[in-house]
Structure 1
């Protein structure tokens, strides 16, 4: 029942965010400020407190790295095969990227931290780092190539280097590896700030959810949902059951890869010639559907 309560609370906060957007409480500028709090403050604090007592060697194993890459690239290839015959390149490109691009930062890591112990949360932080470094460039490449849009590779690489979430992960693992002592009042404060990551991020996601019913392509959307929150976590379960990873790594990887399509895919689709209305719909449907599928995943791995 504890898992049910957490996921119902997740759904309530999501719907609150959507309601606040509809009522004007969370307009564009306020949502941007809330996003900044989540992206630059709450999520980095959560990542640091989950990793600063862990060494890189204890968290990052070859098996974890290989497993994540296998699941990500296999799902991307399957998505390409499934969607390759769609008439619209703009819709095809979005369907492919939204079938594998997970919402790891705003939903995955905060949910893991609120549900599991410190060891799983630390592993989830590493999963976030590895997968982000892989799925983000791949999404930009797929969208820009299929839609024939120009993109500055240098700018995107600079964005990765200056990403506060990834930078904090590096700092936390470095501190843990060299055994640097952190004053307890500081860690207590960071833990308090990090605990805000889930509600703040969920409000941001909810405020970003939109759906345009006249543009619904049922077949395409059902396929995206099936691949993202059905196939991907199931395949991750299979892959990490075979690989020699610790239980904490298994749990973190399966739950993180079972998260819905990231809101950022809508932003990338809008900027790189994708079908933005289709992208928005898929984010909405996968996010709401994932409340049920994440319950099943968390129950099984828990």
Structure 2
């Protein structure tokens, strides 16, 4: 296969995902969708269609081929390492009041939407299965580590800290994505199959997830925020879209991961900063403008950095 064929094949995987994001931007500018639509659709995706997609993909998966505890362990450790690397860099280069949101923006990716969409585009149902298992690790680590760093740079009394930890624990334990993974795993292990009518209905409902979620990302994106300062945002975005994906993926390859497992991990590590980071920063008194800048910049960078990364890994024959 020539380099041109590999490159065109790579574009066939990544361009549809980012085209939907830019369609969302266009629809928002045309006034065909508004913030109320984005808020409602985002809730529908988070609470309904995405958990259904994960549930069905895991039920239909061959866990004997897709479940790898070492993969989950490595992803968790790599996420933790990237978190502390970002924190060390922020402690050296960033003013204290910006460090919390800088670190969160530098390590927290939008794996649930962009990562899953790309995994599905590259590996089909197997990509969704591996991605669904990784999401359990993603949700736990991203939420807990974000609370840690944002709390560290926001002085609170003990009572308010305890209340914050209780709140985040409640959100983790009741997170629809985690519940979907927990509900589907035993059914997949015992090879339980849903009735055809129920599986078909679920497929119809789950098929709304990726296009609707990607349009919502585009509808939320604001490039105007970048005009209010982009220095720290560029630094955090470089960590998120270049340094962390390169270091984490290279280390994964060196210790023996390859093929679709390496590919899905790269897509998850290389996903742009999650929109949930804005909500978390705002709720905990962080710099919401910087967070919005990071989200916008990483999303715009993703179409180039992810395409380049996938192309390089395919040329090298690693995925």
CA contact (8 A) 2:59 2:193 kept: no
| Residue number among 279, 283, 299 corresponding to 1:267 in the alignment | 279
Distance (Å, rounded) in 1 between the aligned partners of 2:94 and 2:120 = 41
Q: CA deviation at 1:63?
A: 1.7
Distance (Å, rounded) in 2 between the aligned partners of 1:174 and 1:55 = 12
Using the TM superposition, name which of 291-300 and 227-236 deviates more.
291-300
Give the 5 Å matches for 1:1-302: 1-54=8-61, 59-86=66-93, 88-149=95-156, 150-151=160-161, 152-210=164-222, 211-218=224-231, 220-245=232-257, 247-299=259-311, 300-301=313-314, 302=319
Structure 1, gaps ≥5 residues long: none
Cα shift readout 1:125-149 (whole Å, capped 9, x = no counterpart): 1111112111111101111121225
Tell me: CA distance 1:179–1:283, structure 2 relative to 1, closer, same or farther (3 Å).
same
CA contact (8 A) 1:144 1:273 kept: no
Distance (Å, rounded) in 1 between the aligned partners of 2:20 and 2:296 = 14
Using the TM superposition, name which of 47-56 and 101-110 deviates more.
47-56
Please give the secondary structure, in 1, of the residue aligned with 2:98: helix
Cα shift readout 1:188-218 (whole Å, capped 9, x = no counterpart): 3323332322211111111221232442132
Distance (Å, rounded) in 2 between the aligned partners of 1:273 and 1:86 = 21
Distance (Å, rounded) in 1 between the aligned partners of 2:305 and 2:256 = 25
- TM-score in terms of structure 1 length: 0.91
Distance (Å, rounded) in 1 between the aligned partners of 2:287 and 2:308 = 31
Cα shift readout 1:33-60 (whole Å, capped 9, x = no counterpart): 1112211222112211211134766544
Q: CA deviation at 1:175?
A: 0.7
Aligned to 2:5: none
Distance (Å, rounded) in 2 between the aligned partners of 1:143 and 1:11 = 30
- The alignment covers a number of residue pairs equal to 301
Tell me: CA distance 1:115–1:57, structure 2 relative to 1, closer, same or farther (3 Å).
closer
- TM-score in terms of structure 2 length: 0.86
Distance (Å, rounded) in 2 between the aligned partners of 1:172 and 1:27 = 34
Distance (Å, rounded) in 1 between the aligned partners of 2:26 and 2:99 = 30
Please give the secondary structure, in 1, of the residue aligned with 2:272: coil
